Amino acid sequence: MTFIKGCKLDDLARLSEMGISPRDVAQLLVECFSTQTFLYGIVHADLHPGNLHVRYSDELGKPQLIVLDHGCYKVLDNETRLDYAHLWKSIVFREHDQLKHYTGKFGIDPNFYQLFALFLTFSNFLDSSQTGLLDQRRQMSKTELKKMWKDLKDKFFSKNPNANVVDHFSVIENMFQGMKLDLILLLRTNIQIRSMTTSLGKPINRFGIMAEYCIKALEYETVPVTKQVVLKDGDTKEIVLNQLVLNRTLKQRLTLQWHLIQLRFSLSVMNVAFWAVQKLLRWTLLSRFIEFVSSPQHGKYTDDPLLRNAE
Ligand SMILES: Nc1ncnc2c1ncn2[C@@H]1O[C@H](COP(=O)(O)OP(=O)(O)O)[C@@H](O)[C@H]1O
Ligand SMILES: [Mg+2]
């Protein structure tokens, strides 16, 4: 084993010194773990920035993600891997019937599928007017948040005004009661990746990238291939790896590529829109701030919601 000189995945100062953008790191992270999970069904059970380092590879001419600590992995069976790909695809594309079905396959009461999807994404799946590709960077407005809590209470939680936390919690407990064990690790991994992309400033639409890998996972077939590996002590061992094969006609292949191009295009449009909104917001806040400090009556804008958000 060689010592890898890099920095922790969320060390923004060191990344900047190395000239690596948080966006590239987030992209690498989500691509790497989507490949492992959706395409190969292999789940690293201890994902945190200490086990994920980043360096600039002169050989590749681009940043590289170094995954350390391979002490604990879970290998998913093929059915679970494909069900998980179906689950996320239906979340990202907001396909409610599919989502309900695959929520049930993971042992969650399908009647709670909207609440379950909300847990995973913090988006309001009770609001059927929300359509299109899901983007985790989109912040809910106060009005939307209020509506979400109201929808949740109306549909799932006790209407009794005297209901307490325990009553509400029992709803959640019932929902998760029959959950498949593999899902616990998958949800934990998902939370860890969300936390790391958040530390990196949420520069990408994580869900969109995951959807791309889900689509691929559902198209490719896996063929087990036996390989010889040399262990530390010099001994050799046979291991079985999945090789991905696309058993499709030319027309089907072209259709798949076309779907992926459309998805990537939608993601690029979303990225540009997100960037423009951020710039506009910053510019608006800055101009309001300049106006405020140059005003003879400081405090004129105290009740301005834009300035309140800036604090
Ligand atoms: N090959 C390596 N190159 C650079 N740093 C490493 C390497 N292996 C381990 N480390 C450092 O040592 C720390 C602990 O190693 P790790 O394999 O994660 O063991 P543990 O089980 O204690 O978490 C890592 O977080 C990392 O900072
Ligand atoms: Mg470690």
- pLDDT of the residue at 296: 59
Distance 234 CA to ligand 2 centre (A): 25
- pLDDT of the residue at 308: 45
Among left, alpha and beta (phi > 0; psi -120 to 50; other), residue 33 is alpha
Q: Are 19 and 56 in contact (CB under 8 A)?
A: yes
- Specify which residues 209 forms β-bridges with: none
- pLDDT of the residue at 153: 83
Higher pLDDT, 121 or 306: 121
Distance 68 CA to ligand 1 centre (A): 6
Alpha helices (runs of H) in 93-164, residue ranges in sequence order: 96-105, 113-121, 142-155
Higher pLDDT, 162 or 37: 37
255's CB contacts (< 8 A; 6+ apart) are none
207: nearest Cα among 307, 117, 114, 121: 121
Tell me which residue has its CA closest to atom 23 in ligand 1: 69
Indicate if ligand 1 lies below 6 Å from the C-beta of 70: no
Distance 235 CA to ligand 2 centre (A): 25
86's CB contacts (< 8 A; 6+ apart) are 98, 102, 214, 218
Neighbours of 93 (CB within 10 A): 19
142's CB contacts (< 8 A; 6+ apart) are none
Among 11-20, 75-84, 200-209, 302-311, name the one with the lowest average pLDDT: 302-311
Distance 66 CA to ligand 2 centre (A): 12
Share of residues in the chain with pLDDT > 90 (%):
47
- pLDDT of the residue at 266: 80
Note the pLDDT tens digit of each residue in 245-262.
Answer: 888 888 888 888 888 888
Q: Are 103 and 176 in contact (CB under 8 A)?
A: no
Indicate if ligand 1 lies below 6 Å from the C-beta of 4: yes
**Which atom of ligand 1 sits closest to the CA of residue 1?**
1
**Which atom of ligand 1 sits closest to the CA of residue 8?**
27
Share of residues in the chain with pLDDT > 70 (%):
93
Highest mean pLDDT among 4-8, 83-87, 116-120: 83-87
Among 66-75, 98-107, 131-140, 280-289, name the one with the lowest average pLDDT: 280-289
Mean pLDDT of 203-209: 90
In this predicted structure, the answer to whether residue 303 has a pLDDT above a threshold of 70 is no
In this predicted structure, the answer to whether residue 309 has a pLDDT above a threshold of 70 is no
**Which atom of ligand 1 sits closest to the CA of residue 70?**
17
Residue 113 burial class via C-beta count within 10 angstroms: exposed 0-12, middle 13-18, buried 19 and up? buried
| Paired tokens of 294 | 């140059």
Report the C-alpha gap between 86 and 211 in whole angstroms. Answer: 9
Neighbours of 266 (CB within 10 A): 16
Q: Look over the chain and give the mean of its residue pLDDT values, rounded to a whole number.
A: 86
Indicate if ligand 1 lies below 6 Å from the C-beta of 68: yes
Higher pLDDT, 119 or 286: 119
- pLDDT of the residue at 307: 42
- pLDDT of the residue at 298: 52
- pLDDT of the residue at 44: 93
The alpha carbon of 186 is separated from its chain's Cα centroid by a whole number of angstroms, namely: 11
Note the pLDDT tens digit of each residue in 168-203.
Answer: 778 888 888 899 999 999 999 999 999 999 999 988
202: nearest Cα among 284, 144, 270: 270
DSSP E strand boundaries for 62-210: 62-67, 73-75
Distance 97 CA to ligand 2 centre (A): 40
Note the pLDDT tens digit of each residue in 32-59.
Answer: 999 999 999 999 999 999 999 999 999 9
Tell me which residue has its CA closest to atom 9 in ligand 1: 68
Note the pLDDT tens digit of each residue in 215-243.
Answer: 999 998 888 889 888 877 888 888 887 78
Q: Are 193 and 216 in contact (CB under 8 A)?
A: no
Instruction: Identify which ligand lies nearest to the alpha carbon of 49.
Output: 1
